Amino acid sequence: MGVTAAQLLDPNQRVACASTPRLSVNTGIYALFVVTGSSNAWEALRLNAEPSGLLYVGVATDGLDRRYHPAERSCRTSSPRFSFGAMLHDRIVPHLKPAAATSDQRAHWRFEPESEAQLSAWMQANLSYNAVEWRGSRKELEACEDRLIRLLKPPLNIKLLRGEDRRLLKAVRAACKATARARRDAGSTAESVP
């Protein structure tokens, strides 16, 4: 059976990202949500408010505490953080600024260290999360993730996402890449973020 939508969406199990992570789960499925009553967050993300607040569903096989995205230092190590940064680019004050593009093929752009800190602060103020432990094979875990994404349609999942949300997410990611390339081509030098 695996993880159910009801388990993942349970508002009584959500923890504010501003609190200390309680992710003792090693392998499982997690979800990120806009905190209840944060209409400004939906506006900043350019998304229509969803009753459940759901934004993203993901899996972790190497410790869910490693998926605590507000504590990450770089968009380059986190797909949802990468998406949050792109959606908030030029939308929050002070503005997030893409650093000059690098030769790194995994990520063509990243944010300046100050912008990464601003992104973390925004996420901590506006997001909550839930994690559900998984007991089964990795193949079954990934199939469960796919089932939940298809069922719940979280707007910041590129995987399996179709329609207007996917077009918007791809467009804002492309805009950040273009800004980073322009900075690189203009000779901007930005220190690498580890």
Please report whether residue 169 resides in a domain: yes
Going by the DSSP 8-state scheme, the letter that residue 98 receives in this structure is: B
Please report whether residue 22 resides in a domain: yes
User: For residues 75 and 85, what is the distance between their CA atoms, to the nearest angstrom?
Assistant: 7
Please report whether residue 192 resides in a domain: no
Mean of the per-residue pLDDT values of the chain? 77
pTM of the model: 0.81
pLDDT tens per residue across span 97-131: 555 555 554 445 667 777 788 888 888 889 988 88
pLDDT tens per residue across span 132-184: 888 888 899 999 999 999 999 998 888 777 778 888 888 888 887 777 777 77
Distance of alpha carbon 109 from its chain centroid, rounded?
A: 16
Please report whether residue 144 resides in a domain: yes
Please report whether residue 194 resides in a domain: no
Please report whether residue 62 resides in a domain: yes
Please report whether residue 57 resides in a domain: yes
Question: How many folded domains does the chain comprise?
Answer: 1
Name the pLDDT band for 6 (thresholds 50, 70, 90). Answer: very high
User: For residues 104 and 4, what is the distance between their CA atoms, to the nearest angstrom?
Assistant: 37
Please report whether residue 190 resides in a domain: no
Range of the domain at 15: 5-185
